[in-house]
Structure 1
Amino acid sequence: MKKSLLLYAVILLALFNVYTYMFLSKEVEFEQQRYEKTTKKLKDSLNSMTTKLTDANYFSLEKNENAQNYFDAAGAAKTIQYEKLIPYVKDQLLDLNSNPKGNPYVGQDQIGANKFIINKVKVLNHRWIIADYSDGEIWGEVLLKYFVNDDQTISFEVIQSLLYQKQ
């Protein structure tokens, strides 16, 4: 009886070990497959976001070599580094927000009690800027033309401005 009980215990133990080995090996394979799928999804997502970012930055001075060459042309009397020009242009435009009647380059007169100020600025190329402005209640966008003068000052000109309807 002891021998048969011992034999049953050994067989049961062997079956249990085989079952545990198979379960754990399948679990490792499953986890590896899940890891590979997740990694593939993340890489695809990263590639998709990189493509979207590249498309979004297509119209920007940072990515437009033709616009950059305008400031660094071989026949130009002076060279301007666009990396330093972009923040300088943005600062010059945003400094005009301190005007008591609002920023004069939003293309809109003051409507209510609040003045229009520019919130966000994107330098599109060597000549154009797009900006978002608001008075806290009404929002709009403006397309500006900018020029770098000989004395390194920036002058702006409103091309088109629009206001969104109040919601």
Structure 2
Amino acid sequence: MKKSLMLYLFILAILMNVFTYMFYSREVKFGQERYAKTTKKLRDSINLVTTKLTEANYFSLENNENAQNYFDNSASGGKVILYEKLIPVVTEKLLDYNSNPSGNPYTGQDKIEGKKFIINKVKILNHRWIVADYSNGEYWGEVLLKYFVADDESISFEVNQSLLYQK
């Protein structure tokens, strides 16, 4: 009787070990498959976001080689202006006009109800064009600007078109 009890306990222990092994091996396989699916989904999401970002930056000085070459005047004996350094300088110069008491003159708008218009966001499209967002806290608009970089590296702006959205 003692031998048969030990045999039954031994067989029960083996069966429990086999079932435990099968359970954990399938759990690991299930976890690996779930990890692979999640990783694939995340990679697809990253690729989608990267593609959208690339498409959104299509019109930018950073990605426009022809516009970048415009600032390379070394062939004609002129100066080379690095666009990486030019972008923050142009942006800062345009935003400096926000401190004007009557508002930024390059929004194309005068004060409305005593509130001045200031430029909030700037996007340099190429070697000639800038699009900017402006507001006075109540009204919002966008402006298309031309900018010029002189040989002495001074920057001038010109309002091409301004749009003020309805309230």
Give CA-to-partner distance per residue, 1:127-167, whole Å, 9 cap, x none: 0000010001111110100001232111111111111222x
Unaligned runs of 5+ residues in structure 2 are none
* Higher mean C-alpha deviation, range 5-14 or range 60-69: 5-14
- Equivalence for 2:134: 133
Partner of 1:142: 143
- TM-score normalised per structure 1: 0.96
Percent sequence identity is: 73
Paired residue secondary structure (2:84) = helix
What secondary structure, in the 3-state scheme, does the structure 2 residue paired with 1:151 have?
coil
TM-score of the two chains, using structure 2 as the length reference: 0.96
SS in 2 for 1:165: coil
Q: Distance between the aligned counterparts of 2:56 and 2:26, measured in 1?
A: 44
Partner of 2:66: 66
Structure 1: gaps spanning 5 or more residues: none
Alignment of structure 1 residues 109-128 onto 2, 5 Å: 109-128=110-129
Residue 76 of structure 1: CA displacement? 5.5
Superposed CA offset, 1:54-91 (max 9, x none): 11111100110000000014236221111111111001
Inter-partner Cα distance in structure 2 for 1:76 and 1:38: 56
1:23 corresponds in structure 2 to: 23
Query: What is the deviation of 1:7?
Result: 1.3
How many residue pairs end up in the alignment? 166
Deviations 1:94-125 (A, max 9, x none): 00011110000001111122100001101100
RMSD: 1.0
| 2:36 partner letter | E
